[in-house]
Amino acid sequence: NAGVTQTPKFQVLKTGQSMTLQCAQDMNHEYMSWYRQDPGMGLRLIHYSVGAGITDQGEVPNGYNVSRSTTEDFPLRLLSAAPSQTSVYFCASSYAQGASLYGYTFGSGTRLTVV
Amino acid sequence: DAKTTQPNSMESNEEEPVHLPCNHSTISGTDYIHWYRQLPSQGPEYVIHGLTSNVNNRMASLAIAEDRKSSTLILHRATLRDAAVYYCILRAFKTGANNLFFGTGTRLTVIP
């Protein structure tokens, strides 16, 4: 089925460990973004990309890296996990231009716990 | 990005209409009004969007005030599956990045 696929669905890390959250979409969307959602709060933008090779920071980028080597994939890397990064992470994609005219498609999320 | 204000929570009886309000008094002429919802343990889901005129789709209707300073998402017959957090978001129509900035939304409870 077409959509945004996130892996893994659940992950537990120890403080200081690094890992990569995977995000892939098969809709040929140019625009992809990563959000985090802490308990009882709305989503906050971490990083985004408007096309292959182009990335930029969102509201809360510290502690995270991204790259966009292909249109389909947009991995999020945690460099040195901290308990404050315990959250649910969502990846989303859309058309880059006219994005206000179309809805964003979100993945089902990765629930990350840092101990 | 212009800010929106929504009630923290609302309740509705099953199979009755639900009107979810959103205030956006600082909206600019190029801002579209988007609505998303998030069901428990899922990612947000696009519901509807509009600019000036009222909009209808299979999920809901969007009523936009004439001065565009407020809008209302209308679910015509609430079902238990509509229990979710509903987010009202303003997005400027522009090229380049078009990020969504979420507030805390309205938690809708549907009573059987």
Name the DSSP letter for residue A101: G
Confidence check: pLDDT of B1 > 80: no
Distance from CA of B18 to the nearest CA of A (A): 22
Which amino acid makes up residue B53? S
In B, which residues are within 8 Å of A105 by CB distance? Answer: 46
Size of the A and B interface in Cβ pairs below 8 Å? 70
Q: Do B49 and A44 touch (CB under 8 A)?
A: no
| pLDDT for residue B71 | 97
Question: pLDDT tens digit string along B77-97?
Answer: 999 999 999 999 988 766 555
Q: Do B93 and A101 touch (CB under 8 A)?
A: yes
Question: pLDDT tens digit string along B4-55?
Answer: 999 999 999 999 999 999 999 999 888 889 999 999 889 999 999 998 999 9
Average the pLDDT over B49-70 and give the result. 94
| pLDDT for residue B95 | 53
Of A41, A90, A100, the CB nearest to B98: A100
What does the mean pLDDT of chain B come to?
Answer: 90
| pLDDT for residue A82 | 97
Q: How far apart are CA B8 and CA B19, in angstroms?
A: 14
Burial category of B9 from C-beta neighbours within 10 Å (exposed 0-12, middle 13-18, buried 19 and up) = exposed
For chain A, the distance separating the N- and C-terminal CA atoms, rounded to the nearest angstrom, is: 35
> Which residues in chain A belong to E strands, given as ranges?
4-7, 10-13, 19-25, 31-37, 43-51, 54-57, 64-66, 76-78, 87-94, 105-106, 110-114
| pLDDT for residue B66 | 95
pLDDT tens across the length of chain A (115 residues)? 679 999 999 999 999 999 999 999 999 998 899 999 998 788 999 999 988 999 999 989 999 999 999 999 999 999 999 999 999 999 999 876 554 557 889 999 999 999 9
